[in-house]
Amino acid sequence: MSMRCPKCGTMYPDDARFCTRDGGRLVAFTPGGTSAFAPSRPALPDSHRTTPRGITPDLAQMHVINHTNMSGQVLDGRYAIVKKVGEGGMSFVYLAQDVSTNERYAIKILSPALSRDENAMARLRREAALGIRLAHPNVCHIVRMGETEDGLVYVVMPFVEGEVLADRTNRRGSLPMAMTVGFVSEIAAGLHVAHQLKIIHRDLKPENVMISTGPDGTEHAVVMDFGLAKERRAGGELEKLTATGIILGTPEFMSPEQLRGKPLDARTDIYSLALMTYEMLAGELPFEGRTQQEQMIARLRSDPVPIRQRRRGAEVPEGVERVLTKAMARNMEERYATAPEFADELREAAGKSGGAPGGVLGKIFRR
């Protein structure tokens, strides 16, 4: 039997008692990695919810056979997998519950191919270390990155329940000015925390923002998936691992400098946020093009279609158009320097027409 740190996952000999990395008390660990669990297991009493525990022998006997369908199993002796909530080309996302605390988490299970890629794993470990520092109400940050004894790699994040911003906009066609300004202000607040840590998102888009409803009915925008995040002042080695923006990012919302593979900073995320704002208000993006490639070329060579031209049947203050035009400037030097500056200017411009009252951040946005 070995000892394991429940915080960082580091393994120790059976006579060790504390983790040398973070000082946490070690728990007993029997080899076996992940294991099945009984959904009918009663919840632990409150007096036992704060202390992590090791894997019991009967659980340790069973291994995960198919990591693409882990519902009903316990990951690493700690996270009871409830159900799959999403998947991509290189990972699967599950809703899970900590067996010790009953806290709910979203866990991203990496594919075996990605887990075996040394360069990709070096990048992901670096990003996880950065992501842990992004604790903020408007950011879904990384709680920890772990690896089981049998090589299964996973990332733990808070579970955010709600509606994806892209679905909200598609369902409604466009969003009211006050609702848009409120969401933009909250997204900008989350981004600013990352930017102050010299981290940029690189892949900001409506699909990566969740609209979560609190107990009092208040809605909050939460920026998701900092999986492509990187330090703004990264060294050459990290640059090699992350490659260029033309590879990492979603073309529809990438900035001109990202399309060209140029150095990026916070103004790249501001550009993407401006495109999202435009789409929320107009129901479509500001560049013409029959194909994705034509739209990418338009962003490199053309000015965006003015939003008041797109929304002729709805009132859009001239000031809002001016703010969006500045935030979407092809030359990043001409954009706003910070996300809150863009959000504040937008709020002020919208408020002059009565579209976004001063207390918009505390407004309850009904679906």
Domain 163-362 has CATH 3.30.379.10: no
pLDDT at 346: 98
242 pLDDT above the threshold of 90: no
- Tens digits of per-residue pLDDT, 312-349? 656 899 999 999 999 999 999 999 999 999 999 999 99
Are 208 and 225 contacting, i.e. CB atoms less than 8 angstroms apart? Answer: yes
Asked if domains 31-158 and 163-362 share a fold, the reply is: no
Q: pLDDT: is 293 or 353 the higher one?
A: 293
pLDDT at 181: 97
Phi, psi of 168 (to 5 degrees): -60, -45
57 pLDDT above the threshold of 50: no
pLDDT at 230: 47
288 pLDDT above the threshold of 90: no
CATH of domain 31-158: 3.30.200.20
Residue 298 burial (C-beta neighbours within 10 Å; 0-12, 13-18, 19+): middle
40 pLDDT above the threshold of 60: no
pLDDT at 18: 57
- Tens digits of per-residue pLDDT, 163-209? 999 999 999 999 999 999 999 999 999 999 999 988 888 889 999 99
360 pLDDT above the threshold of 90: no
Which of 148, 141, 144 minimizes the C-alpha distance to 67?
148
Counting residues of the chain whose pLDDT is more than 70, the rounded percentage is 70
**C-alpha–C-alpha distance, residues 23 and 5, integer Å:** 9
Task: Tell me what the pLDDT averaged over the chain comes to.
Answer: 78
Q: pLDDT: is 289 or 19 the higher one?
A: 289
38 pLDDT above the threshold of 90: no
pLDDT at 6: 61
Torsion of CA 38, 39, 41, 44, to 10 degrees: 120
Full-model pTM: 0.72
Q: pLDDT: is 33 or 255 the higher one?
A: 255
**C-alpha–C-alpha distance, residues 29 and 351, integer Å:** 58
pLDDT at 237: 33
Residue 294 pairs in a beta bridge with none
Counting residues of the chain whose pLDDT is more than 90, the rounded percentage is 43
Q: How confident is the model at residue 100 (pLDDT cuts 50, 70, 90)?
A: very high
**Domain ranges across the chain:** 31-158, 163-362
pLDDT at 338: 98
Distance of CA 193 to the CA centre of its chain: 13
pLDDT at 53: 36
Q: pLDDT: is 75 or 50 the higher one?
A: 75
Mean pLDDT lowest among 37-41, 117-121, 167-171, 219-223? 37-41
41 pLDDT above the threshold of 90: no
Residue 250 burial (C-beta neighbours within 10 Å; 0-12, 13-18, 19+): middle
- Tens digits of per-residue pLDDT, 260-283? 999 999 999 999 999 999 999 999
Are 211 and 167 contacting, i.e. CB atoms less than 8 angstroms apart? Answer: no
Which residues are designated catalytic?
203
